[in-house]
Amino acid sequence: MNHVSRETYMRSKPNVIKVKDHLVSGETFKVVYDEALAYAFTQFPNGINLGAYYPKASYASHQQKPKGVKGRLYVFAQHIMLRYKYSILKRYYSGTDLLDIGGGIGVFAHYMNNKGFDTTLIEPSATAREIAVNKGIESFQSLEDLPALKKYDILSLWHVLEHIEALNETLQKCHKLLKNNGLIVVAVPNLKSFDAQHYGPFWAALDVPRHLWHFTPKGLNQLLDENGFTLVSTYPLWFDAIYISLISETYSKNKFGVLRGIFIGLYSNFRAFFNGEYSSKIFVFKKKN
């Protein structure tokens, strides 16, 4: 099945929920789910400036030192996850040319460079990109700005694909950028996880309108397959369930939110141990030649 436009979605009979932007505007957006495609999209008015919904002060991936309890938890998990991500890439090692797409201030890129990789960064935010450049990371604003004919062994999109409006176009560009048998590694929240179902419209990983797409494993696999990639393996992101549940409790304004969030996050991971539906997952795909 080919990927369809947002307009085609709306002519069908999708499931729709209303979700509030708790982070910036307080506005409400519709999240539209299609059973056949097995993923959803965030509906927003034409001409909206999505960049205005990315606050410099509170978006964790663009902060050098995230503040507060949630920020400290983010940094703690980030350090562990850097080692975890590196260990995964080592299993499929095919070269050192790595392109990290949407890599923020270059935390992952810098870590991988220190591990012997030659990492290039794609980051739309000029502020974040400047920080990455100051770390000595070769950085570009978009895929179109990359050197002509340059090919990469690995492409990584850590919680990035859900932010990209032109899914097919971007994935087709990624296919061309990869060497034969190259890898594309994608991490996204899982709409089928227990914490997603438990919190519903308060699930923090919906993160509207910054998250344009909301994937299930089936939907992501189908989308990548249509664009020239085959699934190799998947890996859990355990900390995401706890981190997202804690934020979701804040949005829900529940009593004893910290305790409840930790419990729901741990229980979500427990459930996922049996059914594989972790709050967020890493998907390793290989280029079809």
Confidence band of 9 (pLDDT split at 50, 70, 90)? very low
What pLDDT was estimated at residue 2?
44
The answer to whether 286 touches 230, Cβ cutoff 8 Å, is yes
Q: What is the pLDDT of residues 20-49, one digit of tens each?
A: 999 999 999 999 998 888 999 999 888 889
Question: What domains can you pick out in the chain, each with its CATH number?
Answer: 1-45 (no CATH), 69-207+226-287 (3.40.50.150)
| Alpha carbon distance 282, 206 (integer Å) | 17
Query: For all residues of the chain together, what is the average pLDDT?
Result: 90
Q: What is the pLDDT of residues 199-231, one digit of tens each?
A: 999 999 999 999 999 999 999 999 999 999 999
- Give the DSSP letter of residue 147: P
Q: What is the pLDDT of residues 58-68, one digit of tens each?
A: 454 555 555 56
Kindly state the percentage of the chain with pLDDT values over 90: 76
Question: Which of 69-73, 120-124, 258-262, 265-269 has the lowest average pLDDT?
Answer: 69-73
What pLDDT was estimated at residue 5?
47
Neighbouring residues of 67: CB distance < 8 A, sequence distance ≥ 6: none
Q: What is the pLDDT of residues 129-150, one digit of tens each?
A: 999 999 999 999 999 999 988 9
Secondary structure (3-state) at 235: strand
| Alpha carbon distance 101, 178 (integer Å) | 13
Query: Hey, CA dihedral for 32, 276, 238, 281, is it positive or negative?
Result: negative
Return the amino acid letter for 173: K
